[in-house]
Structure 1
């Protein structure tokens, strides 16, 4: 079963949970139907007493795609966890924020920005009562298909989609479950190996581990759920149905373009406001760095680069197309503390990029990538000098006014099409825009460079066309060491305060 099919099945389970009646609430462990008598703490809830899972032959063994339909349901108060580090030299610490109080999470429960470690213990027994599997599961509270579980729960949840652990230099994250809402738990062990159970009947008991029971105010009953599991031989036609559905519907696309459109061409100010909210562009150290041999014995250093907004306003740039041209005039917009637009200034241009892997409008004055020698004089420059702004990374959601649910998160859909007459590109507060090393043109040609120490420089707002709170944090440097011979170059990337990304 594909990941998308699993998510569809999870949605059905959550939909069933969202529609539970007072009669069924007793079964799932919630003895109430409204907030007045909702449990103070969270509950572990099973959407169904019994489930069926299919077992497939994958060539070198078997696998069972296990979906237990278990959810953590928040009680009277939201479950909100904030994880952050003061600097790259400091460890990540986390706190539960509830009822105006902050409670430190036990050591070892948060070690990265992927979520909570070892939330549950899963015990699977066969028909004879013998334990056949027991393992831990981790948990990301920011379930993408979270739903409310009682009629009077808040209509919306403010918490982000997913737990973003992709950027090694992220600084802060917010995870949460809205009061009265459900967040699905992980079902499988985190080691990544194929999970298998022979065809047959099992009893699965899932328990929230003791540190979290205490932290979330769970009783022993609220922290445990039991499900009857039947494993059957997988049907080949179910795989075919899944493939047909995925082909028919295609990839999901961002709704950003439908919800946000460029404003009318602005009344231009002579200069940016000298006070009030403004973005603050900050560069993270380059990461995901590698060396690659190309035809004709060419050598390239590839890298990922992130610029993020740590300011008090989104960076919002609108482009207006020049008639009949593949060029737009770009303007940066400004807002007051209440979010009202107060003006705009010219901010360069946007251009249509027709290369495979792009096919969208690029803002031309956002960032610059340089390779510096040991004395920090320029040795090379990346050909990547224009950008489709999008909120690809959760860099620090703990800063004030961070946008936890940005809309334009997809590089393929947030920056217009060839026929667009206008484009809006946004980098929201707390979010970063990452260009990974597989993007065309993003590399340094190091073929003729001697061995030695170099620095990858990521520089935001290089021409100073964007108005921001500070330019003192626009540049980052990442040390690399080139070695080897002309026939076989080598690359060493020292960690940053122990971070190897």
Structure 2
């Protein structure tokens, strides 16, 4: 599938990671991972008998430095007695992110710094590196995403699978997230945004959970500390960057189109499509085009499943919405539109035509311009709110996975899972309005899900999100102002 956002579905590469690719080859990201045999086997227990988290690692870890940057410290977090789970939510765009530890005895509020961003728990661990002579080479408080890419069981008694997502969200309008470490599993402490800069040599590393978190978790300073030796060796420069192999299986519908336009009926579980405010807005260099990013997400307790079918001589596919029960069994289907082969720049796959609509509205909310972007391939590009009931924390690992297909496809399945959003970034074809013939003034960018009401969902009253903007300046020097929403700080538009 060709991705629509910066690096496709699942965890996407952040702008900072893109800048660091030339100095962080894939080998570095997996270097010095703790060998499981260095951990004592843990026995699962119904009641916690010790601290909820432990910092662990081998007594001596060897890692490599590329261009002076160390990508792995061989440091891990373990949940020894019971799963460690954190829910983060934002009540509205004016409210801060609030993080809560779901402890065995009930929710526990984490310190305010835990909600500094959606990227993890702010300043969770302090890491100090000392040289052989005792001088400090590095000292940093690090943000931690518990949903590490590198998770492993620490004992044969540990659960076989972890239910938690891979990676933390970074969409500026995320509403809720879930982080966690499964019982008797470890998660590596990763440094995606700010790798340590250490010269080759031997260092004493002291890692400590910071005091505000220790108090919230009921831990002592000793319980939250780990000291070990880090040996840093020269690494060879490499421009090769290997992406992570896709883990998901692509589910396909039967290749035979249903004989009827509908059968069965929706159950109690349904999708609920909602729109997030447009963001990442910018004018083209000549000032003629307003570009934007937009996200439609599923707030319901069931996936939005759309199957497409075409005959051997057809240029279009008939699209059917598939309904499932709580166990994922099909209860019915209904014809809801068509899919077309979208051969425009940056797409080249099958699009469903009845999913969303973009409009630029006048100050009185009447339509001034409609975007020519009117077809979409459904995909789980962003974790918008994994705290909603029924949210799928691992959408890439379900049997209902998204496929945009290729030109020879005769059937395919597109899915938007509960809690996930489908983002089209502003560099994609069609994510734009022509504004060169519009007068200066106030306008609204409207993102509307399910515009024709063909899709069956729990509610259509929450399908539209509007963002206020102002156009000003002269025809040769057009200017754009975007009204800020609450406390949300958007990255610069060029990073989209």
TM-score (norm 1): 0.86
Contact 2:266–2:323 (CA<8 Å) still a contact in 1?
no
Instruction: Quote how far apart the aligned CAs of 1:425 are.
Output: 0.2
**For this pair of structures, how many residues does the alignment match?**
463
Do the aligned partners of 1:124 and 1:204 also contact (CA within 8 Å) in 2? yes
Tell me, yes or no, if structure 1 residue 284 matches structure 2 residue 293: no
Q: Does 1:178 align with 2:169?
A: no
CA contact (8 A) 1:285 1:305 kept: yes
The 5 A counterparts of 1:482-493 are 482-493=471-482
- Matches of 1:266 and 1:253, distance apart in 2: 34
Task: State how 1:405-420 maps to structure 2 within 5 Å.
Answer: 405-407=394-396, 414-420=403-409
Q: Secondary structure at the match of 1:415?
A: coil
Task: Tell me, in whole angstroms, the C-alpha distance in 1 between the residues paired with 2:303 and 2:266.
Answer: 16
Distance of 1:94 and 1:198 partners within structure 2? 36
Which whole-Å deviations, capped at 9, do the CAs of 1:97-144 have from their partners, x for residues lacking one? Answer: 122511111222222211101111111211111223211111000012
- Counterpart in 1 of 2:231? 230
Sort the Cα spacing of 1:389 and 1:116 in 2 relative to 1 into closer, same or farther, 3 A.
same
The answer for the alignment partner of 1:103 in structure 2 is 108
Q: How does 1:332-347 map to 2 (within 5 A)?
A: 332-347=321-336
For the pair 1:44 / 2:44, whether they are aligned, the reply is: no
Q: Does the aligned pair in 2 maintain the 1:282–1:473 contact within 8 Å?
A: yes
1:437 is the counterpart of 2:459: no
Larger radius of gyration: 1
| Residue pair 1:394, 1:432 contacting (<8 A) in 2 also | yes
Provide closer, same or farther for how the CA distance between residues 348 and 443 of structure 1 changes in structure 2, counting only shifts above 3 A.
same
2:4 alignment partner in structure 1: none
Q: 1:65 maps to which residue?
A: 70
Question: Equivalent residue for 2:494?
Answer: none
Per-residue deviation, residues 193-223 of structure 1 (Å, max 9, x unmatched): x753344332121111122234445444442
Q: Which residue of 26, 34, 50 maps to 1:4?
A: 26
- 1:372-391 equivalences under 5 Å are 372-391=361-380
Change (3 A) 1:187 1:317: closer
Tell me the equivalent position of 1:59.
none
Range with greater deviation from structure 2 (325-334 or 86-95): 86-95
Contact 1:254 1:414 in 2 (8 A): no
Partner of 1:262: 253
Matched, 1:151 2:156: yes
Is residue 77–residue 98 contact of structure 1 (8 Å, CA) maintained in 2?
no
Q: CA deviation at 1:231?
A: 3.5
Seen in structure 2, the aligned counterparts of structure 1 residues 429 and 334 have a Cα distance that, compared at 3 Å, is same
Distance across 1 between alignment mates of 2:386 and 2:62: 37
User: Structure 2 unaligned runs (5+)?
Assistant: 1-22, 491-496
Q: Is the 8 A contact 2:257 2:310 kept in 1?
A: no
Which residue in the other structure is 1:87 paired with?
92
- For 1:375 and 1:440, locate their aligned partners in 2 and report how far apart those are by CA, in whole Å: 28
Cα distance change of structure 1 residues 453 and 187 upon mapping to structure 2, 3 Å threshold? closer
- 1:470 equivalent to 2:440? Answer no
Q: Does 1:304 align with 2:293?
A: yes
327, 338, 342: which one aligns with 2:316: 327
Secondary structure, in 3 states, of the residue corresponding to 1:108? helix
Match of residue 208 from structure 2: 207
Aligned to 1:453: 442
Rounded to whole Å, the distance in 2 between the matches of 1:55 and 1:376 is 54
Give the direction of change, closer, same or farther, for the CA distance of 1:280–1:123 in structure 2 (3 Å limit): same
Matches of 1:324 and 1:267, distance apart in 2: 18
| Residue number among 114, 136, 139 corresponding to 2:144 in the alignment | 139
Mind listing any 5+ residue stretches in structure 1 that lack a counterpart?
57-62
**Cα displacement (A) at 1:274:** 6.5
| Equivalent position SS for 2:415 | strand
Range with bigger deviation, 130-139 or 73-82: 130-139
* CA-CA distance at 1:64 after TM superposition: 2.3
- CA change 1:7–1:54 in 2 (3 A) is closer
**Matches of 1:4 and 1:377, distance apart in 2:** 51
Q: Per the alignment, do residues 184 and 349 of structure 1 end up closer, same or farther by CA in structure 2, a change over 3 Å counting?
A: same
Which stretch of structure 1 is more off in the superposition, 141-150 or 41-50?
41-50
Q: Which has the higher contact order (CA 8 A, sep 6+)?
A: 2
Call closer, same or farther: CA 1:49–1:218 in 2, change over 3 Å.
farther
Q: Quick check: 2:64–2:70 contact (8 Å CA) kept in 1? A: yes
Residue in structure 1 matched with residue 384 of structure 2 by the alignment: 395
CA contact (8 A) 1:254 1:413 kept: no
Alignment match, 2:8: none
CA contact (8 A) 2:266 2:332 kept: no
Is structure 2 residue 92 aligned with structure 1 residue 120? Answer: no
- Return the offset for 1:177: 0.3
CA–CA separation in structure 2 for the residues paired with 1:458 and 1:444: 12
Query: What is the SS of the residue equivalent to 2:376?
Result: coil
Structure 1 pair 431–489 and aligned structure 2 pair: CA distance change class (3 A): same
Q: SS of the residue aligned with 2:284? A: strand
